[in-house]
Structure 1
C-alpha cells in the first residue's frame, strides 16, 4: 500500500516537473495574487515585530530607568522616597501642562513642561542644539533659569534661542532647542510642544499647587537588576496606600506597544482579505489552466492513469507555482523593515539595524500556502470527476458536478485552518472573528448577488437593441462572467467604501459637529481663590459665553469589589479606564450631556457611605453592576465607593464629563483645583486670542487649552492613520483588479468562439463592442451598488456601534465607487475584448 502510494507520488512529481518546463504562462495573475497578499502580511508583521522588539530591547533607555513609579497631584512622602532609594539611584521628574508667554503678553502657547533633576537621565542621553551638558543648559543665571524648547514651540511663538519667556511666575531663557529626549515615547502622547527645565525652576514658577494636574515620576537605576520583576509587589505590599503607577523597562511604553499590535492586527486582516480575494484569482487561474490542459488530462486517463495520479500531477504544479508567489511575497516582507524603519526612525523606537524576522515570514508563508491549497483543491476535484470522453467534447469544467466529499472536506479544512491561524495570531480575537465572519458573509452575499443579477437578466423583457439583448444574454448564459466579476471586484470595493465612510465620518465629527458643539476653551488648574476673578475676566471678554465649572481631582482605580484590577482580565474596550489616573469630580446633581441609564442619583444633602456614578458604556465593558464597589486612590488615600447609578455620556459633545462622579461627601475637605469651559459660538479667532491673553496674563498658573488646536492635532492623527489604512486597502483593491483581469482572461477562449460565430453570422465589430460594453457596465453598476450597501452597513456598525458616533452617508463616496467600478470593469473588459475581436475566423472555426 505504502509502496504503491510512493510510486504514484514519484510518477506524479516527475510528470509535474516535466510539464512545468513549458513555463508559467497563464499563471502570472495567480503569482501576483499570492505574492501581493503574502507580501502584505509579511511586511506588516515584520515592521510590527521590529518596532515592538525595539521597545522591549531599548526599554531602559525608553524609560530612562529600570523602573518608573508615578504619582499624580502629589510628591512622594519621605517614607516612600526612602523606600525607592533603598534599591538604587533615583531620578525625579515632574510634568504638567501650562502656558508659556512672551514677557509683553503678545503671544502665548500651551506647553508640556517637564522638570528634571541632576540625575536625569539614568539611561540614554538628551540631545540638544547646542550640544552642551544638561546642567549648563538648564542652569540658573541670576533670577533667570535656562530651558530647552522643542522647535515647534519656537515656531509657534516666532522666537529664537536666547529669547526669554514667562512660565507661571518664572522667567526662563531658551538656551537651545530640544532634539531628542530618551524617555519621550514612554511619557505618552502630548498635545503641546515640550519645554524642558530644572525641578528647581518649576518649583519657583508657582505652577505646582494643591490640586494641580501634575505627574511626578520616580525612576530607579536598580543596584540589583534581578529585583525588577518583584519590586512592584514589594512596593504595593509595604506601601499599600501609595497609589502609584509602576512600570518596568520591559514594558516601557505599554500603550504604544498595544497600539502597534492592534494596528498591525488590523492591517494583517486587510492583507488577509487581499489574500482571500486573491484566492478567487487562484481558483480562476487553476480552472483556466485545467481547461487548457483538458486534452492532456484526457490523454492521461485514456492511457490508464488513475484519477489520483492526474490530481497529484496538477496539485504539485499548482503548489510549486504557489510557492514561487509566496517566495516573492516573503522577499517583499523581508525588505519591508529596511525600507519602513528609515521613515519611522524619527517617530517611533526602531532597531539600530533592521533584520529579517523569520516568525513573521513563516506566518505569512503559512497564510499563502493555505490560501493556495484551499482555493485550488475544488477545481482539481472538478477535473477528477470528469470522464475522458467528456473532456474531449466539452470546452470547460463548468458543467461538472460538485467534487467528491474528500475534496470538499480538504477545502473546508484548509479554510478553517486559515481562519484559525488568523484568530490565533490576532491580539483581539473577537475582532478577528467578526472580521472573518464579515468576509465569509460577503462571499456568500456576492454569490447571491451574482445569482440575482443573472436571474433578473433571464427574466428581463426582450429589448429591441441587438447589442443590449446580447449583453443581457451574456449575463445569464451558462459559463457567464457574472459570478467571477461580482465576486472579484465586490469585496475590494466594499472594503474601500467602508474605510472611506469611517474616515469621512470621523473627519466630519472633528471638523464639523464636534467643532460646532465643543467649548472654545478648557481651563485647568484653577485654584479656589482664583475662581471669582477668573470668571469675571471671562464675562468681560465674552459676555455672551457660557461658563461651566466643576471641581477636579485625579484618582487611580485599584480594585473592583475588592479584587485588584491588575489581576483581572479586562476586555480591550475597558482597558483605557484602568490605564493611569482618571479625572474625577463630585457633584450634587447629574452632569450635563449625560442622563441616568440605571439606578438613582443621591440626595443633595447625602451624608452616608461614599457613592459613585459610573459611565454606563465603560461599566458594561468592565462587567460592573449596581451595588458593586470601586476602590480609588486619591492623593495617597484609598477610597472605596458603591456604584449607585450608571450614566449614558455624550462624549462627542466635548463638554465636561467624567467616567466617575462621586457624592460630594466623599471628598469633603480634600485639596483640589477646578476645571472650567467657555462656550461662545459667536467668538472669532481674534476674540479667542484676546480671551487667551487676558486669562494668561492675569492668572499665569491657569492652563488654557484651545479646543480647536486639540481637534486639529486629532485630525492630523486621523489623517495619518487613514493614509496607512487606505494604502493597505489599496492592496485588497489591487488584488481585486488582478482577479477581475484573470476572470476576464479565463473567459476569453469562450468569448473568442462567440465573437467568431457572431461575426460569421454578420455581426460587426462595433455591435460586438457595444454589447460587451453594455455587459460590463451592467455588472460594474450592480457590483458598485452591492459595495455601497455592504460598505455603508459595515461603516455604520463601526461608527455607530463601536465608536458611538453619529453616522452620515456621503454621496461623494457613492459617486467615486460607481466611477471606479465602471472604469475597472469596462476598461479591463474592453481591453481584453478588443484583442478577441481581432481573431481570424478560420483557425477558430477549425477547432470547433
Structure 2
C-alpha cells in the first residue's frame, strides 16, 4: 500500500506539470461556493464582535433599566446614584407640527435627555455644536436636534420653530450619529431629541401615557455588573422594570443577524452543491481526456487502485487550491465590503480573521468535493483496459463496484449531519436538508424521465427538431447536468421571489382592506368623551373603536418564574418585554372563544384573564391555570377563564391578554383608538384631531405599511442578489457540462456534415435542443420553487397563498437565455472542424 501511494504521488506530480487546463471550472465552482459560506460567516462574526465591543456604547452604559408609563421613584434614583452616575432618557411617540403651516405635521420618535446623556459614546451633530448647546433654552424656547429627513418632510430649515404638544422648540441641528439608536429597531418616524425640561413643558407626560423611561448606568468597574445586578434585584425585587446589561448586547438585532446568517449560509450551501455538479462534470471531462494514459498504465500492469489514487491525489491538490482560494475570498471580501459600505451597518464591525466560519466552509467544501468526485473516479477505475484505446468511451455505461455507493451514502450522511449541527436551530436545518434532498432527487428523476421520454418521441417532418430530441438521449448527453445545475439555482430564486411577492401582497393589498386608516395613541381618560364626539363629527368615516390600554410584563406562569418555565420558542416574544393589556366587561362581536367562557357582564370577583390561544399553547397552560403580571410595579395574579383565537394579520384591535373589570381599570392608563376612513379624508382627519388634541399621537397605517413594504423590498433585493450567486454558479456548471461534451459535439457535427447536413440545420438543432432543455428545466424549477414557497408561506408563516406568474417570468427568461447562449457558445467551434482528423481513429 505504501509503495502504491508513493508511486501514485510520483505519477500525480508528473501529470500535474501540464497545468490547470480543464480545471478552471472545477476551481471556480468550489471557490465561489466556499467563499459564499465563509463570507456570510465572517460578516456575521464581525458584526457580533462589533456588538460585543460597542456593547456599552450601544446600550448607553453598563446597565439599562426600562420602565413603562412611570419613572423611577426617588428612592430608586438615589440607589442608582449611590452606585454610579446615571442618565435618564424618556422616549415616546408624538406629533410634530411646523410653526409655518398646520398642514406640515408628522409622527416622530421623541427622545428627551438630561445633562448626563450620553454616559458612554458621543452623539455627533452635523453642525459645530455640542448637544448641550443645541438643546439649551434661549429666549424661553428650548432647542431640538432632529433626523435630517424631518427637515425635508416638513419643509423646515435650521432655525425654524416646531410645535410639540403645548410647547415650541427651535431646530438647532441635525443628528449625524446617535450612539444608542440601534437599541430601537422599530421606528414609526424620524428622531426628534429635546431636553428633559423641555418635555415637561409639552404637557405630553400624563398618567397612563405610552412613555418609556430608560435609566443608563455606567459603572466605574464594568467587571462588577453581575454583583451590582444582584444588589439591584435584592433592593427592589418587585420593581417591574426590565434590565439589560452591556454583556447582553442588543438581542433583537442579534436575533435578526442570526436568522439572516442562517438563511444566507443555506444559500451558500446551495451554491456549493450546485457547484458540486460542476465538480463532477469537470472530473468526468478530465478523466475522459486521460483515456490513453490510463490505458498505458493498465497495460503496463498498474493496478486499478493505483490509477484511482493517481487521479484522486491530483484532484485533491486542485481541490485544496480551490478551498484555499474560497477561504481567502471569504475572509478578504467582507473586510473590503465593510470599508466601502461602513455607513450602511448599524454597528462598526470588527474586521478580523475568524477561524470558525472559515473552517466550517472548508469542511463543507471538502465533503462536496468528495461526494461529487468519488463516483467519476470509481468509473474511471472500473473501465477495462481493452476499451481505452478508442477516442469515444462513455463513462456513463460503466458500473463501479457497489462499495462506492456505500461510501457515497456515508459522505452524504456526514454532510447532512454537519449541516444539522451547524447552528442551534436544528429544526430549520432539518428543513433545509430534507428540502435540498427532495429538490435534488426530483430534478434527478425529472432529467432521467426526460431522457427516457425523448427516446419515445418521433418527429418526421422537421429534421433539426428530430436531431435535437435525439441529442437528449444520445450516449454522453449532458441533459442531466444541465437540468441539475440550472434547476437548483432557479428553484431557489423562484421560491424566494414567490415568498417575497406574497409578503408584499399581504402588506400592500390585503392588509389595507382590513386595517384601519388611523391608530390614535395616548388619549387621556378625561379626554375620551370629547375625542369620541370629535370623531363622530367627521362625516364619511367608517368603523371606529376605542379601548383602554396599559402595559404589563408576564413574570410567572402557574407560580413558576418565566426564566424557569418551559416555553415554546415561537411564543418567547410574549415574555421578552412588556405586553399591551386592556380590560373589558363584554366580549367583542368578532371574538372567537376556543376554550372556557367569557365572564358575566356584571362580574366583580377575582382577576380573570382571556388569553390568546397560541400563547396558551406555547406556555402549556389552559383554562384554570394562572399568569402573574407585573403592572406598574404591582404583581397581579389572574386565572385564565377563556382562550381566544386571534388573527393578528387583520391589524384590528386585539390584545393577547384581556383582564376582567375591577383589576387594572383603577390604575393610571390611557386609551387608544382605531378608525377606518377613505384615503381622501385622511389629511382632514389628521388636521382636525391634531388641532384639538395636541397630546394625541396619530399613526397613519397606510404610511406604516408603505414603510414596511420598502423595508421588505430592500431585504428581498439583498436576498435575491445573494441568491443569484447560485444561478451564476449554475451557469458556470452549464458551461462546464457543455465543454465536457465538446468532443462529442464535434464528432456529431462531423457525422452530420458527412451525411449532408448543412450548417444551418446543425445550428437549428442546437437551438432546439437548448430551448427544450431550458424550457423544461424552467418548468420543473417553477413547480419545485412554487411548492417550496407555498410550504413556507402557508405553514411556516401561516399566510394566505397567492401564486404570481409575473414574479417568476424573469426566472424563465433568464434560464432560457443562459441555456441557449452558453450552449451555442460552447459548441460553435464544433461547426468548423474538419472531418478527416476526427474520423481517422474511428
TM-score by length of 1: 0.95
Please, which of 699, 708, 715 is the counterpart of residue 721 of structure 1? 715
> In structure 1, the residue corresponding to 2:183 is in which secondary structure?
helix
C-alpha contact (below 8 Å) 1:87/1:224 kept by paired residues: no
Counterpart position of 1:799:
793
Q: Distance in 2 between matches of 1:568 and 1:300?
A: 69
Q: Distance in 2 between matches of 1:567 and 1:721?
A: 36
Counterpart position of 1:441:
438
Please, which of 372, 375, 381 is the counterpart of residue 372 of structure 2? 375
Please, which of 729, 733, 738 is the counterpart of residue 732 of structure 2? 738
> In structure 2, the residue corresponding to 1:704 is in which secondary structure?
strand
Give the drift of 1:443.
Answer: 0.6
Counterpart position of 1:15:
11
Counterpart position of 2:264:
267
C-alpha contact (below 8 Å) 1:599/1:646 kept by paired residues: yes
Give the drift of 1:557.
Answer: 1.9
Q: 1:347 to 1:485 in 2, by over 3 A?
A: closer
Q: Distance in 2 between matches of 1:747 and 1:539?
A: 77
Counterpart position of 2:466:
469
| Equivalences for residues 167-206 of structure 1 within 5 A | 167-206=164-203
Structure 1 residue 507 and structure 2 residue 504: aligned? yes
Give the drift of 1:569.
Answer: 6.3
* Unaligned runs of at least 5 residues, structure 2: none
Counterpart position of 1:644:
641
C-alpha contact (below 8 Å) 1:523/1:677 kept by paired residues: yes
Counterpart position of 2:840:
846
Provide, for residues 598-623 of structure 1, a one-character-per-residue CA deviation record: whole Å limited to 9, x for no partner.
44333323334333233333444444
C-alpha contact (below 8 Å) 1:744/1:829 kept by paired residues: yes
Q: Distance in 1 between matches of 2:590 and 2:753?
A: 71
| Equivalences for residues 88-127 of structure 1 within 5 A | 88-103=84-99, 104-127=101-124
Give the drift of 1:411.
Answer: 2.7
Q: Distance in 2 between matches of 1:763 and 1:333?
A: 50
C-alpha contact (below 8 Å) 1:185/1:348 kept by paired residues: no
Please, which of 394, 397, 417 is the counterpart of residue 396 of structure 1? 394
Q: Distance in 2 between matches of 1:198 and 1:486?
A: 64
C-alpha contact (below 8 Å) 2:298/2:385 kept by paired residues: yes
Structure 1 residue 80 and structure 2 residue 76: aligned? yes
Give the drift of 1:545.
Answer: 2.5
Structure 1 residue 671 and structure 2 residue 665: aligned? no
Give the drift of 1:19.
Answer: 1.0
Q: 1:769 to 1:620 in 2, by over 3 A?
A: farther
Farther off after superposition, 608-617 or 712-721: 608-617
Give the drift of 1:841.
Answer: 0.8
Counterpart position of 2:422:
425
Q: 1:44 to 1:461 in 2, by over 3 A?
A: same
Farther off after superposition, 608-617 or 111-120: 608-617
Structure 1 residue 693 and structure 2 residue 687: aligned? yes
Counterpart position of 1:769:
763
Give the drift of 1:572.
Answer: 4.4
Q: 1:559 to 1:834 in 2, by over 3 A?
A: same
Give the drift of 1:744.
Answer: 1.7
Counterpart position of 1:290:
287
- Matched residues, number: 840
Moved over 6 A (4+): none
Q: Distance in 2 between matches of 1:659 and 1:772?
A: 62
Counterpart position of 1:55:
51
Farther off after superposition, 606-615 or 98-107: 606-615
Counterpart position of 2:410:
413
Farther off after superposition, 706-715 or 602-611: 602-611
C-alpha contact (below 8 Å) 1:523/1:703 kept by paired residues: yes
Give the drift of 1:300.
Answer: 1.6
* Unaligned runs of at least 5 residues, structure 1: none
Give the drift of 1:29.
Answer: 1.3
Farther off after superposition, 650-659 or 736-745: 650-659
Give the drift of 1:381.
Answer: 1.6
C-alpha contact (below 8 Å) 1:186/1:253 kept by paired residues: yes
Give the drift of 1:297.
Answer: 1.7
Give the drift of 1:541.
Answer: 2.9
Q: 1:450 to 1:129 in 2, by over 3 A?
A: closer
Q: Distance in 2 between matches of 1:610 and 1:390?
A: 88
| Equivalences for residues 158-557 of structure 1 within 5 A | 158-351=155-348, 354-392=351-389, 395-405=393-403, 407-557=404-554
Q: 1:822 to 1:65 in 2, by over 3 A?
A: same
Give the drift of 1:356.
Answer: 2.6
Q: Distance in 2 between matches of 1:595 and 1:399?
A: 64
> In structure 2, the residue corresponding to 1:118 is in which secondary structure?
coil
Structure 1 residue 24 and structure 2 residue 14: aligned? no
Q: Distance in 1 between matches of 2:126 and 2:829?
A: 65
Provide, for residues 506-530 of structure 1, a one-character-per-residue CA deviation record: whole Å limited to 9, x for no partner.
2222222222332111000111111
> In structure 2, the residue corresponding to 1:100 is in which secondary structure?
strand
Q: Distance in 1 between matches of 2:590 and 2:23?
A: 60
C-alpha contact (below 8 Å) 2:50/2:350 kept by paired residues: no
Counterpart position of 2:704:
710
Counterpart position of 2:751:
757
Provide, for residues 171-225 of structure 1, a one-character-per-residue CA deviation record: whole Å limited to 9, x for no partner.
1111211222211112333221111111111122111111111111111112442
Please, which of 141, 145, 158 is the counterpart of residue 142 of structure 2? 145
Q: 1:573 to 1:399 in 2, by over 3 A?
A: same
Farther off after superposition, 102-111 or 739-748: 102-111
Give the drift of 1:80.
Answer: 2.7
Provide, for residues 749-801 of structure 1, a one-character-per-residue CA deviation record: whole Å limited to 9, x for no partner.
22222221222122222222222222222222211111111111111122222
Q: Distance in 1 between matches of 2:381 and 2:234?
A: 70
Counterpart position of 2:152:
155
Please, which of 816, 822, 825 is the counterpart of residue 819 of structure 2? 825
C-alpha contact (below 8 Å) 1:55/1:349 kept by paired residues: no
Structure 1 residue 577 and structure 2 residue 571: aligned? no
C-alpha contact (below 8 Å) 1:262/1:428 kept by paired residues: no
C-alpha contact (below 8 Å) 1:381/1:404 kept by paired residues: no
Q: Distance in 2 between matches of 1:746 and 1:628?
A: 68
Q: Distance in 2 between matches of 1:672 and 1:837?
A: 83
Q: 1:347 to 1:756 in 2, by over 3 A?
A: closer
C-alpha contact (below 8 Å) 2:146/2:171 kept by paired residues: yes
Q: Distance in 2 between matches of 1:261 and 1:276?
A: 22
Q: Distance in 2 between matches of 1:778 and 1:122?
A: 67
Q: Distance in 1 between matches of 2:495 and 2:521?
A: 38
Q: Distance in 2 between matches of 1:79 and 1:840?
A: 97
Give the drift of 1:276.
Answer: 0.5
C-alpha contact (below 8 Å) 1:586/1:667 kept by paired residues: yes
Please, which of 60, 70, 79 is the counterpart of residue 66 of structure 2? 70
Q: Distance in 2 between matches of 1:819 and 1:9?
A: 50
C-alpha contact (below 8 Å) 2:611/2:640 kept by paired residues: yes
Q: 1:427 to 1:718 in 2, by over 3 A?
A: farther
TM-score by length of 2: 0.96
Q: Distance in 1 between matches of 2:173 and 2:136?
A: 12
Q: Distance in 2 between matches of 1:622 and 1:753?
A: 69
Give the drift of 1:142.
Answer: 4.3
Q: 1:29 to 1:645 in 2, by over 3 A?
A: farther
C-alpha contact (below 8 Å) 2:610/2:642 kept by paired residues: yes
Q: 1:16 to 1:594 in 2, by over 3 A?
A: farther
Give the drift of 1:825.
Answer: 1.8
C-alpha contact (below 8 Å) 1:498/1:794 kept by paired residues: yes
Give the drift of 1:471.
Answer: 2.1
Q: 1:614 to 1:378 in 2, by over 3 A?
A: farther
Q: Distance in 2 between matches of 1:353 and 1:109?
A: 37
Provide, for residues 615-639 of structure 1, a one-character-per-residue CA deviation record: whole Å limited to 9, x for no partner.
3334444444444332221111122
Farther off after superposition, 601-610 or 806-815: 601-610
